[in-house]
Amino acid sequence: MRAYVPVQPPVLQGETSDDHYRYREYAPSSRLEPYVACYWTVDSSAAAGPPLHRIVPDGCVDIIVDLRASGSSKASFAVGLMTAFEAFRLTSDYSLFGIRFFADRARLFLNYPVSEFTGSRILLEDIWGQEAKPFIEAVQSAGEAEEATGRVEAVLLHKLQSRQPRTEPLLQAAMGYLYASKGALSVGALAEQLSYSERTVRRVFQKELGISPKELLDIIRFQCILQEMHKGISPWRLTDIAAAYGYYDQSHWIGSFKRLYGLTPSQVLK
């Protein structure tokens, strides 16, 4: 089982279900666990007032299917890596199904480097071509989320088995160090571990992921702290947690967290 498990605000803040907003996550099978962080669903109704949906950077890439869309041509899209939070009101009724891939493995399923998707949304039919339509229809016609995940896994396993690995070896090695260190690592130290120059490491990250290794290190460290918070910690322990992850300056720690979450750590714990 992966030690790195990204956390999103609805799970962390206990806002997964009420009368007009429901967020759920579903674990992948053991065969897909190295590639998929989770499957997720969002169902919302604006009738009782538009709910706030917050998304934070998690070092992952998503394929999202709109379950309410009438046609399949624009019903699904891929979303690249995020480097800042988003928070918006869901002013319409939504029903979405998502696949959250680890960034270093997403290329195996998306056919292109993750850098092609960073900072943008690209229609699934532009990525998968004719394979997109039956996939989207299979997800949309599923009766329950569990049925949808089963259909999705069959497609993903087929893609995994029918293609040769197309990942950058240096990126794979680098991500291993990023996850193992929980992001508490400098780019210089990462390059030294890899026995490559910092310039080469930065070039590979930019080419493959579309962001710098420093940005991804910050995201992974941030997400590991969210994991600690999700386990349940007292507000007075926040400073100790931050120090354990290499934040020795209080203002830097709070500023970095707020940039990625949109709230301060103490606000989240409340």
CATH of residue 213: 1.10.10.60
Say how many CA atoms lie within 13 Å of 48 toward its Cβ.
8
pLDDT value at residue 240: 84
- Of 132, 162, 192, at which residue does a domain stop? 162
Is 104 in the same domain as 222? no
**Do 72 and 182 fall into the same domain?**
no
CA 197 to chain centre: 28
Q: Are residues 26 and 157 in the same domain?
A: yes
Q: Is the pLDDT score of 151 beyond 90?
A: yes
For the cut 70, the answer to whether the pLDDT of residue 222 exceeds it is: yes
Q: Which amino acid is at 216?
A: L
Tens digits of per-residue pLDDT, 161-216? 876 656 788 999 999 999 999 998 999 999 999 999 999 999 999 999 999 999 99
Strand partners of residue 230: none
Q: What is the pLDDT of residue 119?
A: 79
One domain for residues 157 and 176: no
- For residue 49, what are the domain limits? 9-162
What's the confidence (pLDDT) of residue 165? Answer: 59
- pLDDT attached to residue 247: 84
| Percent of the chain with pLDDT strictly greater than 90 | 67
**Residue 233 pLDDT greater than 90, yes or no:** no
> Residues 38, 142: one domain?
yes
In a domain, 205, yes or no: yes
Instruction: Say if CB 89 and CB 52 are below 8 A apart.
Output: yes
Structure tokens at 95: 């029903």
Whether 92 and 176 map to the same domain: the answer is no
pLDDT digits (tens, 9 = 90+) for 109-143: 998 999 999 878 899 999 999 999 999 999 999 98
Residue 36 pLDDT = 97
110 and 17: one domain? yes
Average pLDDT over residues 224-234: 85
121 and 174 assigned to the same domain: no
Domain identity same for 214 and 157: no
Structural domain contains residue 247: yes
**Total number of domains in the chain:** 2
Q: Of 162, 193, 217, which residue is a domain's last?
A: 162
Nearest 5 degrees, angle CA 261-CA 262-CA 264? 85
Residues 50-75 pLDDT 10s: 788 899 999 999 999 999 888 777 89
* Average pLDDT over the chain, rounded to an integer: 90
| Contact criterion met (CB below 8 Å) for 118 and 209 | yes
Q: What is the pTM of this model?
A: 0.93
Q: Which tokens is 141 given?
A: 């016609």
Residue finishing a domain among 102, 133, 162: 162
